[in-house]
């Protein structure tokens, strides 16, 4: 393995190498091939497309909510249906759209950015996707059979307990959680291994692209936060199905325990969605201000610090439960301190933009929108962090406004920016920039029109989760504005879809690096080949593609006739050994099916846990069956 040899240019050897690479990385054709695929681009795309469909589903539910609330004493949705719809909206958006979307973008982008060929555990990656899909289908099976969850997206007991939520609605919710969390844990563990051990040689810790740093921190947060919600939902599920007494007060259980465990996950969850978005912003800002990011070390530190502090905030969701004041005050303090770390990042981006040579792309528009909205959302957040104010507006539309400012401003706007930024990499064609900017302005105006009035509605006392209100309350103006805004947002979504479909077929050909960006994904072809790079690149700088082409170096000596990648050391990314990754395999799908049988069955009959475990064990035997490491033929 020699990492400084120039690319050999004997064209015959070259052609043979390409054929070998092509062979060893290609996914077999046909249905079976599709189901057994383990390449990160394909699986990342599946996550992205599936999660996008659920964004649309959640969006339709949001429109129904807004239609119902548009006028006082409206009867479009009855109270029961309304409960189902807002719960399904919140659940879909958080668990089926936001987290999987961020995971999918990372599955697609991280290996490219690190200069490698796949994630560290390709079959686990496939398994994670199937499990997510199963959980999503499961929830929507409930939605279409009058079994949509209806106890709010955090399903507090006792409301969600057996006494007040008979039937299977809450069980569907609780088990869907298990599915999506397993899936998120799969992605998190493979991303950590990939970022730690499969970086391009030379990409020492202080050269990792900020997006990969943010995914690293996010993945650790997933690993620490997701087990908490699985425990919470399992408490709930076993209280409901086999009569345990964890969180059911009627049986001496402790509902506050549920709240603690849920929010121990729930607050970090917000950052699990938001930190990847910060990574998008850093990439877009760097590429479009055409200069190195200002304060890289400060950025990294504040991402890491955010990752920690996010675990010290959960009780601010429980200020209204009457905990000891000293205890609550710790959380006020931490909630205020986290504003410092966000402030550092905002400052660094602004400094970069200020001193750079700006190119006002559509993606950058979304970044500016993000900064504006996020600052406002952060301000209302600091307001809510103070116990006295929070108790005043708790469970009102002020809170609904706040978290949509954070979630949509903080995650959806950067995400759309990311779509515009990386679409040319994924499809090989540019999206239409003019339509993109129009898209931005429609979304930005619609967003503020929808959610700004909700602050005022909240202060005027409109509580969340009510299906209607009387005309004497004086809430009409705010509500009708919010509904009009929601339809403007929907129009923005339609513009985006049109742009996607038109650009996909007719967009301008992008080339490898349309934005002259700095990181490795732009060195791959657009769309990337299944093996990403013919020769794995070496990172000679923090901005490897801004190094003069003559000074760039490549890894040679990897075998092309099997799926080989280079493993490097954790701190300094020195070449360590070669690793052969598995090829396509059906076992991830079969294992996911076995797990699904166990999970879904156990909602109806606890014995299915046993059946599911046995089936899963059998599937694991197939999965881990020893195979020869050298796979010369596809």
Partner 1 sequence: MKRDFILWIALLGGPIVWLISFETNFALAPWACIFQTKLALHVISIVALVLAAVSGLLAWQEWKGLSGEKEDRPGGSLPRSRSMALGGVLMSAMFFLVILAQSIPAIVLSACE
Please select the residue that binds partner 1; options are 28, 298, 461, 601, rule is CB under 8 A: 298
Whichever of 557 and 634 has its CB closer to partner 1, that residue is 557
412 part of the interface to ligand HEM, by CB under 6 A: yes
Interacting residues with partner 1 between 199 and 238 (CB under 8 A): 202, 204-206
Asked if 477 is part of the footprint of partner 1 (rule: CB under 8 A), the reply reads: no
User: Binds 465, which of ligand HEM, Cu ion, partner 1, none (CB < 5 to 8 A, cut-off by type)?
Assistant: ligand HEM
Contacting residue, 330, 354, 441, 501, with partner 1 by CB under 8 A: 330
The distance of closest approach from Cβ of residue 65 to ligand HEM in the complex, given in angstroms and rounded to an integer, is: 5
130-to-153, 177, 595 alpha-carbon distances in Å: 23, 14, 10
Q: Segment near partner 1 (CB under 8 A), from 157-165, 189-197, 330-338, 455-463?
A: 330-338
From residue 290, give the alpha-carbon distance in Å to each of 352, 540, 546, 628: 9, 18, 10, 47
Q: Which one of the spans 22-30, 35-43, 318-326, 423-431 is the region binding partner 1 (CB under 8 A)?
A: 318-326
Least Å distance, CB 481 to partner 1, is 38
Cβ neighbours for 340, distance < 8 A, ≥ 6 positions apart? none
If one asks whether residue 325 binds partner 1 (CB under 8 A), the answer comes out as yes
Residue 404 touches Cu ion, criterion: CB under 5 A: no
**Position 267 contacts Cu ion (CB under 5 A):** yes
* Residue 481 in contact with ligand HEM, rule: CB under 6 A: no
Q: Which stretch binds partner 1 (CB under 8 A): 19-27, 130-138, 317-325, 491-499?
A: 317-325
Q: Which secondary-structure segment (H or E) carries 135?
A: helix 122-144
| 324 is an interface residue for partner 1 by CB under 8 A | yes
For residues 633 and 254, give the distance between their C-alpha atoms in angstroms, rounded to a whole number: 59
391 touches partner 1 (CB under 8 A): no
Question: Which of 340/497 has CB closer to partner 1?
Answer: 340
Give the orientation angle of helix 40-70 with respect to helix 79-91, to 10 degrees: 150
Q: Which tokens sit at 454?
A: 């909700």
Question: Binding of ligand HEM at residue 62 (CB under 6 A)?
Answer: yes
267 binds, among ligand HEM, Cu ion, partner 1, none (CB under 5 to 8 A by kind): Cu ion
Q: What residues form DSSP beta bridges with 335?
A: none
* Secondary structure in 3-state letters for 497-560: HHHHHHHHHHCCECCCCCCCCCCHHHHCCCCCCCCCCCCCECCCCCCHHHCCHHHCCECECCCC
* Contact between residue 542 and residue 526 where contact means Cβ atoms under 8 Å apart: no
Residues 6 or more apart in contact with residue 178 via CB below 8 angstroms: 135, 230, 233, 234, 599
550 binds partner 1 (CB under 8 A): no
328: which 2 tokens? 């609550």
489 contacts which partner out of partner 1, ligand HEM, Cu ion, none, CB within 5 to 8 A by kind?
A: ligand HEM
With CB under 5 to 8 Å by kind, the binding choice for 340 among partner 1, Cu ion, ligand HEM, none is partner 1
CB 278 within 8 A of CB 300: no
List 7, 49, 336, 494, residue binding partner 1 (CB under 8 A): 336
Find out whether 527 and 509 touch, Cβ atoms under 8 Å: no
87 binds ligand HEM (CB under 6 A): yes
- Which positions from 174 to 203 touch partner 1 by CB under 8 A, shown as an x/- string? ----------------------------x-
- Long-range pairs for 392-397 at CB < 8 Å and ≥24 separation? 393/458, 393/459, 394/319, 394/320, 395/320, 395/463, 395/464, 395/465, 396/457, 396/458, 396/459, 396/461, 396/462, 396/463, 396/464, 397/454, 397/455, 397/457, 397/458, 397/462, 397/463, 397/464
Distance CA 38, CA 40 (A): 6
Interacting residues with ligand HEM between 482 and 541 (CB under 6 A): 486, 489
Contacts (CB under 8 A) with partner 1, residues 29-68 = none
Q: Is 360 in the site for partner 1 (CB under 8 A)?
A: no
51 belongs to the binding site for ligand HEM (CB under 6 A): no
Q: Could you say whether residue 404 binds ligand HEM (CB under 6 A)?
A: yes
Helix, strand, coil proportions of the chain in percent (round to 5)?
70, 5, 30
First CA to last CA across the chain, in angstroms? 25
* φ, ψ at 575 (rounded to 5°): -55, 135
The entry of partner 1, ligand HEM, Cu ion, none near residue 301 (CB within 5 to 8 angstroms by kind) is partner 1
Minimal distance, residue 310 CB to Cu ion, in Å: 8
Q: Which stretch binds ligand HEM (CB under 6 A): 87-95, 201-209, 363-371, 500-508?
A: 87-95
Question: Residue 177 corresponds to which tokens in the numbers above?
Answer: 């959680």
Q: What is the CA radius of gyration of the chain?
A: 25
Residue 633: phi and psi, rounded to 5, are: -110, 140
> What are the residues binding partner 1 (CB under 8 A)?
202, 204-206, 297-298, 300-301, 304-305, 308-309, 311-312, 315, 323-327, 329-330, 332-334, 336-337, 340-341, 571-572
> What are the residues binding ligand HEM (CB under 6 A)?
59, 62, 65-66, 86-87, 89-90, 93-94, 98, 152-153, 400, 404, 407-408, 412, 450, 464-465, 486, 489
């Amino acid at each position: 393995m020699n990492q400084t040899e120039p690319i050999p240019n004997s064209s015959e050897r070259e052609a043979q190498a390409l054929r070998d690479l092509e062979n060893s990385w290609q996914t077999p054709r046909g249905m079976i091939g599709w189901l057994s695929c383990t390449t990160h681009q394909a699986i990342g795309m599946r996550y992205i497309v599936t999660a996008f469909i659920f964004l649309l589903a959640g969006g339709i539910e949001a429109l129904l909510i807004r239609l119902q609330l548009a006028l006082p004493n409206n009867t479009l949705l009855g109270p029961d249906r309304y409960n189902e719809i807002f719960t399904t909206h919140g659940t879909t958006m958080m668990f089926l759209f936001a987290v999987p979307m961020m995971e999918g973008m990372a599955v697609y982008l991280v290996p490219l950015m690190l200069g490698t060929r796949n994630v560290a555990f390709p079959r686990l990656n496939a398994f994670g996707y199937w499990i997510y899909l199963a959980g999503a289908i499961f929830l929507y099976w409930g939605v279409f059979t009058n079994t949509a969850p209806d106890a709010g997206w955090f399903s507090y007991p006792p409301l969600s307990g057996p006494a007040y939520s008979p039937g299977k609605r809450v069980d569907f919710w609780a088990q869907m959680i298990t599915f999506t969390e397993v899936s998120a844990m799969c992605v998190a563990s493979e991303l950590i291994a990939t970022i730690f051990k499969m970086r391009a040689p030379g990409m020492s810790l202080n050269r990792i692209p900020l997006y990969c740093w943010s995914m690293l921190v996010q993945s650790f947060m997933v690993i620490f936060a997701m087990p908490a919600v699985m425990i919470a939902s399992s408490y709930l599920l076993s209280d409901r199905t086999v009569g345990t007494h964890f969180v059911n007060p009627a049986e001496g259980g402790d509902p506050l325990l549920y709240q603690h465990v849920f929010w121990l996950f729930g607050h970090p969850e917000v950052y699990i969605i938001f930190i990847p978005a910060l990574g998008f912003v850093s990439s877009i800002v760097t590429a479009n201000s055409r200069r190195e990011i200002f304060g890289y070390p400060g950025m990294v530190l504040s991402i890491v610090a955010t990752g920690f502090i996010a675990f010290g905030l959960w009780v601010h969701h429980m200020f209204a439960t009457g905990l000891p004041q000293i205890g609550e005050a710790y959380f006020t303090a931490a909630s205020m301190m986290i504003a410092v770390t966000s402030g550092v990042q905002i400052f660094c981006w602004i400094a970069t933009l200020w001193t750079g040579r700006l190119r006002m792309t559509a993606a950058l528009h979304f970044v500016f929108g993000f900064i504006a909205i996020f600052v406002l959302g952060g301000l209302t957040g600091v307001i809510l962090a103070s116990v006295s104010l929070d108790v005043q507006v708790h469970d009102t539309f002020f809170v609904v406004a706040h978290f949509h400012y954070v979630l949509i401003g903080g995650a959806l706007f950067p995400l759309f920016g990311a779509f515009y930024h990386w679409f040319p990499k994924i499809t090989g064609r540019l999206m239409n920039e003019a339509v993109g900017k129009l898209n931005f302005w429609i979304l930005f105006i619609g967003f503020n029109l929808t959610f700004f009035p909700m602050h005022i509605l909240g202060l005027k006392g409109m509580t969340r989760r009510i299906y209607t209100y009387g005309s004497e309350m004086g809430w009409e103006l705010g509500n009708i504005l919010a509904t009009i805004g929601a339809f403007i947002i929907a129009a923005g979504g339609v513009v985006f879809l049109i742009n996607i479909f038109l650009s996909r077929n007719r967009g301008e050909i992008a080339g490898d690096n349309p934005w002259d960006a700095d990181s490795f994904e732009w060195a791959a072809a657009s769309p990337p080949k299944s093996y990403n790079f013919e020769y794995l690149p070496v990172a000679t700088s923090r901005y490897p593609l801004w190094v003069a082409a003559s000074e760039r170096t490549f890894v040679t000596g990897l075998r092309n006739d099997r799926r080989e990648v280079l493993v490097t050391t954790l701190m300094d990314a020195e070449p360590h050994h070669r690793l052969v990754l598995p090829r396509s395999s059906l076992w991830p799908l079969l294992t996911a099916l076995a797990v699904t049988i166990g999970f879904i069955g156990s909602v109806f009959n606890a014995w299915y846990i046993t059946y599911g475990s046995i089936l899963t064990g059998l599937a694991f035997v197939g999965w881990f069956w020893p195979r020869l490491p050298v796979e010369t033929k596809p």
